[in-house]
Amino acid sequence: MPLESSFFEEILDKVPAEILVADAEYRFLYANPVAVPDLGVREWMIGKTNEEFCIYTGRPVSMSRARRMVFEKARRTRKAVEWAESAQDSEGVVQHFLHRIYPAFNAEGQLQEVIIYVVRITETKEFEEKVRLHEKRYRDLFNHSQALICTHDMDGKLLTVNPATCKILGFEEQEMLGRSGSTTGQSAANFAFLASPAKRSTFCIRTIAAKNRASNLMLSAFHRISPIG
């Protein structure tokens, strides 16, 4: 058995992800070098609880409490639990981590140990934040642009319209959604029929679509107010 245990520990030591094992009381039985690079700390923590480890390594009490809550949830539900954590590294840069805790039960159905698997997701978080900012920038442009901007499906039915479109054409948003604003064939006429008679004038229709893609079309109509008199 010691030989088998040594064999598996040697494999886990080489896994490029944080792996820890704790007993039914959340006392650590094993941690690989990726999880705890300092050999002295890694040896010290064996047999110590989650709370003792967090205090010893200077982690906030809130983190140890959150980890204990997740541990108890895994014990109670008898299912793997996933959660995210953020912490500053040695250079003061915030890193993001995804934790998964897997409870293991013996033949009598009692919790025997938990396996904790941790991967760094900083790049994913940064990408998600960039996407969120791009979406916000697009939404701001859509909402505040003075040009008429809308999206429609391949049949020409309007899916979204910006506030400028509603204001210039004299309709509420819900009155326009689902109606035809097709840019095929009689494009200007099809779109212009939505406008109230008092606001009809010349429209320039521009369609933007990816080649050979059956997706939404972007239609931008620029309204020109006729000179008074």
Same domain for 151 and 118: no
Find the CATH number of the domain harbouring 182.
3.30.450.20
* Neighbour count for residue 128 (Cβ, 10 Å): 12
Coil, helix or strand for 173?
helix
Q: Identify the band that residue 7 occupies on the pLDDT scale cut at 50, 70 and 90.
A: low
Residue 136 has pLDDT above 80, yes or no: yes
DSSP code for 91: T
177 phi and psi angles, rounded to 5 deg: -60, 135
Taking only the tens place, the pLDDT of each residue in 173-229 is 888 888 775 443 344 444 554 544 444 443 444 433 433 333 333 444 433 333 333
Same domain for 163 and 67: no
Coil, helix or strand for 153?
coil
Residue 139 lies in a domain: no
DSSP sequence for 52-85: HHHHHTT--HHHHHHHHHHHHHHHHH-S-EEEEE
Same domain for 106 and 9: yes
Residue 133 lies in a domain: no
Same domain for 86 and 20: yes
Residue 12 lies in a domain: yes
> Is residue 11 within 8 Å of residue 2, measured between CB atoms?
no
Q: What's the average model confidence in pLDDT over 43-59? A: 94
Question: Which conformational region is residue 154 in: left (phi greater than 0), alpha (psi within -120 to 50 degrees), or beta?
Answer: alpha
Taking only the tens place, the pLDDT of each residue in 58-94 is 988 999 999 999 999 999 999 999 988 887 777 777 7
**Per-residue pLDDT at 178:** 84
Global pTM exceeds 0.85: no
Same domain for 6 and 112: yes
Show the DSSP H helices in the chain as ranges: 2-13, 39-44, 50-56, 61-77, 122-144, 163-169, 173-176, 187-192
Same domain for 191 and 95: no
- The closest alpha carbon to 205, from 229, 189, 228, belongs to 189
Residue 134 lies in a domain: no
Residue 100 has pLDDT above 80, yes or no: yes
Q: Which domain holds residue 149?
A: 145-224
Number of domains in the chain: 2
- What lies within 8 Å, CB to CB, of 92 at 6+ separation is none
Same domain for 167 and 112: no
Same domain for 65 and 155: no
Residue 189 lies in a domain: yes
Q: What's the average model confidence in pLDDT over 40-51? A: 95
Same domain for 203 and 94: no
Same domain for 46 and 115: yes
The residue written with tokens 């107010």 in the block is: 225
Residue 127 has pLDDT above 60, yes or no: yes
Same domain for 203 and 119: no
Choose the weakest-confidence range: 103-107, 130-134, 194-198, 213-217: 213-217
Residue 58 lies in a domain: yes
Alpha carbon 204 to chain centroid distance?
38
The domain boundary, picked from 66, 94, 126, lies at 126
**Per-residue pLDDT at 114:** 95
The residue written with tokens 């006729």 in the block is: 226
Residue 156 lies in a domain: yes
The domain boundary, picked from 96, 126, 156, lies at 126
Q: What's the average model confidence in pLDDT over 42-53? A: 95
**Per-residue pLDDT at 26:** 95
Residue 166 lies in a domain: yes
Q: What's the average model confidence in pLDDT over 124-128? A: 76
Q: Cα angle at 192 between 186 and 197, to 5 degrees?
A: 140
Same domain for 97 and 204: no
**Per-residue pLDDT at 124:** 76
Choose the weakest-confidence range: 35-44, 136-145, 148-157, 208-217: 208-217
**Per-residue pLDDT at 93:** 78
**Per-residue pLDDT at 183:** 40
